[in-house]
Amino acid sequence: MEAYECIVSKRDTRAYLDKPLDEEELRKVLQAGRMAGSSKNTQPTRLILFRQRKRLEEVAACAKFSQHLPAAAAAIAICLPSTGSDFDAGRAAQNMMVAAWSMGIASCPCSMHDQECVRKTLGLPEDYRVVVVLALGYPDPKVSMHLGKRRVEMDELVHEERWSG
């Protein structure tokens, strides 16, 4: 899939097939996260890949709105030290989600609302936190990825030179 097409067609998806991810594709997703830029090239992000159903359930219990996480084939926790920038984590997350989609793997980010819970569940060092967890899986074709919601129109989104109207 061409990069632009991949970006504009990607949607967050919470319905996955019960099918493991291809290992080579998963490594490419992780590599995309590894190659994300970072402020002053500090490379602060660390990734935790987990696939065991029990671990997916435990991590889902640390968040709100994470009911889809246990059904995912895998998940990646994007972690930062206390001095790390959420922007750097976001760059890694978007790289991985777009790379995954280019291979037909759907994704959905989950915010972790209980940091102590997720830190303990994933064994993070005390000075690290989980910025976001990406659920990954092959999309269930029976479930719409668009949910009938339209995107904001370009004229409503973009202002030139100054905020207008």
Give the residue extent of every domain in the chain.
Answer: 3-157
Q: Are 16 and 138 in contact (CB under 8 A)?
A: yes
Residue 6 per-residue DSSP state:
H
Q: Which residues of the chain have pLDDT under 70?
A: 147-148, 165
CA distance 76 to 97: 10
Q: What is the pLDDT of residue 147?
A: 67
> Which is nearest to 137 in space by CA: 97, 107, 96, 93?
107
Residue range 58-83, pLDDT digits in tens = 999 999 989 999 999 999 999 999 99
Q: What is the CATH number of domain 3-157?
A: 3.40.109.10
What percentage of the chain's residues is helix, strand, coil (to nearest 5)? Answer: 40, 20, 45
What is this structure's pTM? Answer: 0.93
